[in-house]
Chains A and B, each alone.
Chain A
Amino acid sequence: MSDFNKSSLSEIVNLIKSKKVSSSEITSHYIKNIEKGKKLNSFITTCFEEALKKAKEFDNKKNFNGLLPGVPLAVKDLFCTKNVKTTAGSKILENFIPTYESSVTHNLWSEGAILLGKLNCDEFAMGSSNETSYFGNVINPIGKDLVPGGSSGGSASALAANLTPATIGTDTGGSIRQPASFTGTVGLKPTYGLCSRWGIVAFASSLDQAGPMTKNVEDCALLLEAMSGYDGKDSTSINKKKEKYSKNLNQKVKGLKIGIPKEYRIENMPKEIDSLWKKGIDILKKSGAKIIDISLPHTKYALSTYYIVAPAEASSNLARYDGVKYGYRSNKGKNLIEMYENTRGEGFGDEVKRRVLIGTYVLSSGYYDAYYLKAQKVRRLIKNDFDKCFKSVDAILTPSTPSSAFKIGEKTNDPISMYLNDIFTVPVNLAGIPAISIPAGQDNKGHPLGLQLISKALDEQKILNIAFAMEKSIAFKQSLNRWWE
């Protein structure tokens, strides 16, 4: 058996398509990797038996047309998967088995993919280090003591460690791009409405968006193509024709105008990140792109805005976990109110409680106008900033995160410093526009760092193409000694 650990998703697709390798062989390979990778704690649930069965079924079929023929994939445990436990990283859904399949995962299986298992994540996707999961923290394959980022930390860790050839995550404020940046992988947050939210455990409905996490840009285009698409069951889904991102992928950057926002040059940013950013700018210049200095003046309010809007929506979205219908129910309490209090008190972790409290507070009467309404207004201003800039530039280049992966436990007692991790990623969610993070280099500790490309809504192809070109020039290499095995 060849070493699939070096193979990208696209290569695996080609191997299976050309019948050089069977789906069963590939699936067994990843199952072995997963079994050897338990130390990383990136999986909450595995579905090996079912996956092997499906792979065999696939191998017995004569014809296959899908984009992901017989490819085994693990997905973030925020996607509801039919008959497979879906926890959202929370005790309150510890034993929840959906009777339905999320639209996005359904799309993947329709393209031929096979579910390998469910990946660990921060509880209800609330976190930037995957330390809030009820199922324990996830370890970054880059280093034993490092967080993988979050909330799609299990996805990033599993991908970087080759426990899955590609994966999908969700991104509410950076939950795909930040862990991608921390693990030396590629992650894309699509335009709000490009991927259906139906069947994804909701965190903040107006910000949540599913997206691909892959080893390279080509894979990213392929997976985005497979997972996206209009869905009548999601009222915020965009009704448009499916794009052929992988077919249209090219490296034409010449003549494109790239904006560099001065507001992203923040205080105390590590020099390495700044120089990496410069490196990115140089690469684009050399490729014939025009670099333009731009201003996104409301950027400084983005984080505060985000931490009002997202908790507000979350406080309401999480009200359904009350012990009445499904999920965890405390057996303590003499009446309905006490049952609620105990169920939610025991079922939710600290970070979730913190955000539910913040959200409840900013929506309450007397505070609504000062917080929630104001935040919505600022959100519009942030979007206007982007709209204005995209009249003169094709894409915006920024760092993905203000630091590389930090140590486990380093920020758990300092929520604000944890929240600051999202500073470069949240504006994009607030504006509903797409952004991709690609690995751009390492800091002096050898930890990967990412650069982010942002475009206007529905311009995914453009940032994929620019990223594709940059990827080639950067030639990012990451060799892990598989210490966890």
Chain B
Amino acid sequence: MEKEKFDYYIKTEKNSWEVVIGLEVHAQVISDSKLFSGSSTKFGAKPNTQVSLVDSAFPGMLPVINQYCIEQAIKTGLGLNAKINLFSIFDRKNYFYADLPAGYQISQYKNPIVGEGAVTLDMPYGSKKVGIERLHLEQDAGKSIHDLSPDNTFVDLNRSGVALMEIVSKPDLRSPSEVNLYVKKLRTIMRYLGTCDGNMQEGSLRADVNVSVRKKGEKKFGTRCEIKNVNSIKFMEMAIDLEAKRQVELLEAGKTIEQETRLFDTKKNETRSMRSKEEAHDYRYFPDPDLLPLEIKQSFVDGLKKKLPELPDKKKDRFIKKFKLTPYEANVLVSEIDISKYFEEVIKNADIKLAKNWIIVELFAVLNEKNLDIKNSPVSSKNLASLINAISSGEISGKIAKKVFEIMVETGGEPSKIIKEKGLKQQSDPKELEKIVIKVLGDNSDKVSEYKSGKEKLYGFFVGEIMKASSGKANPKLVNDILKEKLKK
């Protein structure tokens, strides 16, 4: 496949502008309990039912680090090929808000648990490395609910204290589609690792998007604006496009960009100022005196490293080499760990070429249509393997297989049973087939004469009639052999 050229510039009459994007992704850590308390983190519980005295900042309450969350952050760091800092510090980020019970959020400021790393994106114009600046752990805040009453705001603290990883990229991204792939790549890696479920509807993954523009070829970065709390990839792409265009318009009108925090209004389809640099909070970060610096042993990190699953990039390489997949196919099959697992289960006992096509074409179409995860696929990997084997062995034709597959999708049944029950097994007995051929030719003796006198196009007609007479079950190769033989005579 020929490589395309990168071409995301904002072009105006005068100039071509490059868009520079950096992301701060907030990923909720998969953990049964919160970062500094034993409360449950389960999503969707009744308001304020998963709140400990620590989460609601009662007097004298103290945080205790949840070791599992630390492990999750280290695993994620390893997945991002990043440096794990054996010494890190939890700081207090001070600000007042009703859903922040302590009046500060425990976060990591100058000494994060994970340092620099990188992820690789497969763009149509080649692979692209995106630098990771850092990953740090922090607590989530609670939720203010403004729409339950005209006069009151309600506060739900279930989320208060839940562990988040903030993954900060370098300003290496250059287009909405790169952002799209970057976020998806992060999500894939974290899902492989089991460190974040990446569920954007539930808010498990959200991002602050930093956007600036500069003239194509310019080396210096422009002034950036930060778009806060964007919670879907589509919105990220929209917000970047809108924000970049807004900045270009300002600059071309001879104005300057103010560094500020902006909001993306999905209803009005615009970004607008939330607070300027002058109004920016002074968070008065300082090391949380309730927590000692976090010191980790290298052996602890090595232990986690050993237990890491095969990550998407490696798996992709293996799939290409071992199974002779195209990069596209490999990419699709490793995009979710469950898909890759499914694929590998199918090919344990079935033909690879048939398997990848059936999964990528037939199965994905069904899953898409039914809006299902592969985990909830009505066709199990075992059943798909049986179906493919039925094709390979000549038990059924590819055409019949599609029919069987349809029934499998509806009923979840086993292909062998369906083939048997519906009598779909391919007719491969030459004697039986011969009988059918003789009957069809006998019924159409006039056409046989025409054929013999040179109208060879009728061959297809005979095949069609034979297939019809066998309800589509006749083994096409045998039918061909027998028919040719009979027509010779």
Interface bracket on A: 35 or more
CB distance from B247 to the nearest CB of A (A): 26
The interface residues of chain A lying within 8 Å CB-to-CB of B286 are 312-313, 316, 363, 368, 372
Interface centre among B60, B65, B289, B290 (most CB of A within 10 A): B60
Q: Does B8 contact A (CB under 8 A)?
A: no
Which segment of B98-106, B171-179, B217-225, B248-256 sits at the interface? Answer: B98-106
CB distance from B156 to the nearest CB of A (A): 13
A316 near B104 with CB under 8 A, answer yes
The interface residues of chain B lying within 8 Å CB-to-CB of A261 are none
The interface residues of chain A lying within 8 Å CB-to-CB of B284 are 315-316, 360, 363-365, 368
B60 near A201 with CB under 8 A, answer yes
How far, in angstroms, from A198 to B59 measured CA to CA in the complex?
A: 9
- Knowing A100-B53, A319-B102, A320-B103, say if A340 contacts B96 (CB, 8 Å): yes
- Knowing A316-B103, A316-B104, A316-B284, say if A235 contacts B63 (CB, 8 Å): yes
A93 near B59 with CB under 8 A, answer yes
Q: Does B421 contact A (CB under 8 A)?
A: no
Binary CB contact string for chain B from 53 to 92 against chain A (1 if under 8 A, 0 otherwise): 1001111111111000000000000000000000000001
A199 near B98 with CB under 8 A, answer no
The interface residues of chain B lying within 8 Å CB-to-CB of A204 are 289
Q: Does B296 contact A (CB under 8 A)?
A: no
Q: Does A330 contact B (CB under 8 A)?
A: no
A80 near B59 with CB under 8 A, answer yes
Which segment of A31-39, A250-258, A321-329, A447-455 sits at the interface? Answer: A321-329
Q: Does A350 contact B (CB under 8 A)?
A: no
The interface residues of chain A lying within 8 Å CB-to-CB of B487 are none
- Knowing A100-B53, A236-B290, A363-B94, say if A324 contacts B101 (CB, 8 Å): yes
- Nearest residue (CB) in B for A197 is B62
CB distance from B50 to the nearest CB of A (A): 16
CB distance from A224 to the nearest CB of B (A): 20
- Knowing A320-B103, A325-B101, say if A233 contacts B64 (CB, 8 Å): yes
A235 near B62 with CB under 8 A, answer yes
- Chain A 353-374 interface residues, beta-carbon cutoff 8 Å to B: 360, 363-365, 368, 372
The interface residues of chain A lying within 8 Å CB-to-CB of B153 are 336
The interface residues of chain A lying within 8 Å CB-to-CB of B102 are 319-320
Binary CB contact string for chain A from 290 to 304 against chain B (1 if under 8 A, 0 otherwise): 000000000000000
B59 near A201 with CB under 8 A, answer yes
Q: Does B155 contact A (CB under 8 A)?
A: yes
Q: Does A205 contact B (CB under 8 A)?
A: yes
Binary CB contact string for chain A from 70 to 108 against chain B (1 if under 8 A, 0 otherwise): 000000000010000010100001001011101000000
CB distance from B118 to the nearest CB of A (A): 31
The interface residues of chain A lying within 8 Å CB-to-CB of B97 are 336
- Knowing A232-B64, A233-B64, say if A205 contacts B289 (CB, 8 Å): yes
Q: Does A206 contact B (CB under 8 A)?
A: yes
Q: Does A44 contact B (CB under 8 A)?
A: no
Q: Does B291 contact A (CB under 8 A)?
A: yes
How far, in angstroms, from A340 to B100 measured CA to CA in the complex?
A: 13
B60 near A80 with CB under 8 A, answer yes
Q: Does B4 contact A (CB under 8 A)?
A: no
Q: Does A202 contact B (CB under 8 A)?
A: yes
Q: Does A200 contact B (CB under 8 A)?
A: yes
The interface residues of chain A lying within 8 Å CB-to-CB of B292 are 235-236
How far, in angstroms, from A104 to B246 measured CA to CA in the complex?
A: 60
Residues of A within 8 A of B (CB): 80, 86, 88, 93, 96, 98-100, 102, 197-202, 204-206, 232-236, 312-313, 315-316, 318-320, 322, 324-326, 336, 340, 360, 363-365, 368, 372
**Could you pull out 13 A-B pairs where Cβ atoms are within 8 angstroms?**
A88-B59, A102-B60, A197-B62, A198-B60, A235-B291, A312-B286, A315-B284, A316-B284, A318-B103, A320-B57, A325-B56, A325-B57, A363-B286
Residues of B within 8 A of A (CB): 53, 56-65, 92, 94, 96-98, 101-104, 153, 155, 282, 284-286, 289-292
Closest CB pairs A-B (n = 7): A319-B103, A205-B289, A206-B289, A363-B284, A199-B60, A320-B57, A201-B59
